């Protein structure tokens, strides 16, 4: 099964209502926490019943990492004996996943945890996954106090400021010659803490500062993304296209002026149109019905505001959340347009391995329901180290200095979360 941990021959899964109103993060242990949280609702999990590690060889054989993961999850969960007393999206067995951006590395991973705690629409539940019937009685034991991060030592990533400005300029020149309309260029930044970083501390800060984003943690990748790639509940799929960015203003008048400038920006409107059209083309074959907002609106977050367009689809029978992810990724919002030319430009100009940055991250249940976002505003945490990422959409009207300033602004979410 291409799995680092072979699943047991049979799994016993039980979901029961949970009379516990603690914050979801308060349930998590320090070791390898899994999370998907927005406005206090979502899922947290820990332990490991099975794990799929995907290699670059999967892509080279012509079978995508998404198709392999979907088959693995279907096979694994179909053989489970499930008792579900709650029976809504996200109950029963749930796998968490985080995929590499381009499929060339070995970073993608999908995990079936041992314990999942969820909350939705005022209902809370706990799911346990075991090799035999029943479950331990101490599953909700205290998780321990979250630790502060400590003094950080910062260092540059693959490209310094001057080199990254040059890369942006080269991308604009390439767009001017034709064959490329938009490319998203990213950069990285590294923080080193005195002790191993407690991911729960980052999640606590991110959920507090960005309640309207989706705060996530999967295998060391932690962040708060504003971008919902897909949400599937039954045959209904929802998505949100974000492309075009301005900072928030320091007062209402400045904030409104920045929003008005964003709505009037040919450069940002063009960037947004590329992202919207790429999603429409990708979802069309999977949908019996598809609607996209006629005009983008402003989505205001704590430190940024974006052009946003809502998408809603009725899926054809048998299409799971992960099937939709496979069709959509990479969107123009994180890759560019046309896709092949943009991916080639990214490989040449960024001079770094994105890993799972800007790849899909989220969860899938046994009925094909799930929520998947794009791993933005994030850091890859390994021990004492955190590698941060930020990206900007480059189109014909882009200016290197302005794009550099935008990248600095996008680093702010994780920089703040890491700072005591």
Residues forming the active site? 182, 227
Distances (CA, A) of 3 to 104, 127, 373: 18, 22, 24
Evaluate whether 96 touches 113 at the Cβ level (below 8 Å).
yes
Count H helices and E strands in the chain, helices first: 9, 23
Q: Among residues 217, 227, 187, which one has the least CA distance to residue 45?
A: 217
End-to-end CA distance of the chain: 43
d(CA 187, CA 199): 22
Q: Among residues 209, 247, 242, 294, which one has the least CA distance to residue 405?
A: 247
d(CA 63, CA 44): 30
Alpha-carbon torsion (315, 320, 325, 328), positive or negative: negative
Distances (CA, A) of 77 to 7, 43, 81, 320: 10, 18, 9, 14
- Which single residue is written with the structure tokens 């599953």? 139
- Which single residue is written with the structure tokens 């670059």? 56
| Axis-axis angle for helices 321-328, 266-283 (nearest 10) | 130
**Burial call 318-330: b when 16+ CB within 10 Å, e when fewer:** ebbbbbbbbbbbb
Q: Where are the beta strands (DSSP E) in 294-338?
A: 297-300, 304-315, 336-337
């Amino acid at each position: 099964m291409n799995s680092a941990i072979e699943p047991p021959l049979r799994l016993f899964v039980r979901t029961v209502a949970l009379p516990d109103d603690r914050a979801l993060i308060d349930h998590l242990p320090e070791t390898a926490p899994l999370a998907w949280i927005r406005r206090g609702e979502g899922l947290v999990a820990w332990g490991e019943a099975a794990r799929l590690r995907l290699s670059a060889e999967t892509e080279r054989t012509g079978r995508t990492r998404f198709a392999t993961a979907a088959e693995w999850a279907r096979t694994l969960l179909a053989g489970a004996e499930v008792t579900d007393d709650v029976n809504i999206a996200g109950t029963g067995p749930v796998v968490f996943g985080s995929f590499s951006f381009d499929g060339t590395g070995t970073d993608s991973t999908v995990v079936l945890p041992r314990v999942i705690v969820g909350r939705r629409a005022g209902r809370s539940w706990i799911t346990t996954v075991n090799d035999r019937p029943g479950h331990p009685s101490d599953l909700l034991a205290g998780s321990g106090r979250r630790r502060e991060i400590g003094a950080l030592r910062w260092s540059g990533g693959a490209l310094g400021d001057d080199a990254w400005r040059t890369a942006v300029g080269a991308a604009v020149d390439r767009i001017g010659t034709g064959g490329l309309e938009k490319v998203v260029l990213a950069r990285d930044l590294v923080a080193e803490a005195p002790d191993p970083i407690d991911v729960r501390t980052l999640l606590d800060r991110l959920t507090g500062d960005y309640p309207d984003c989706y705060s996530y943690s999967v295998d060391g990748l932690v962040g708060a993304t504003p971008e919902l790639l897909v949400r599937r509940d039954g045959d209904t799929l929802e998505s949100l296209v974000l492309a075009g960015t301005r900072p928030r203003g320091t007062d209402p008048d400045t904030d409104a002026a920045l929003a008005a400038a964003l709505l009037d920006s040919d450069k940002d409107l063009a960037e947004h149109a590329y992202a919207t059209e790429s999603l429409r083309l990708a979802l069309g074959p999977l949908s019996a019905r598809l609607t996209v907002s006629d005009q983008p609106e402003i989505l205001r977050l704590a430190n940024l505001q974006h052009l946003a367009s809502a998408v809603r689809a009725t899926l054809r029978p048998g299409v799971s959340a992960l099937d939709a992810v496979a069709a959509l990724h990479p969107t123009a919002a994180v890759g560019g347009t046309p896709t092949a030319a943009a991916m080639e430009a990214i490989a040449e100009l960024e001079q770094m391995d994105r890993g799972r940055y800007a790849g899909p991250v989220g969860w899938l249940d046994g009925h094909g329901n799930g929520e998947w976002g794009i791993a933005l505003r994030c850091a890859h945490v390994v021990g004492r180290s955190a590698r941060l990422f930020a990206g900007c959409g480059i189109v014909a009207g882009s200016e290197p200095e302005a794009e550099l300033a935008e990248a600095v602004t996008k680093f702010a979410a994780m920089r703040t979360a890491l700072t005591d």
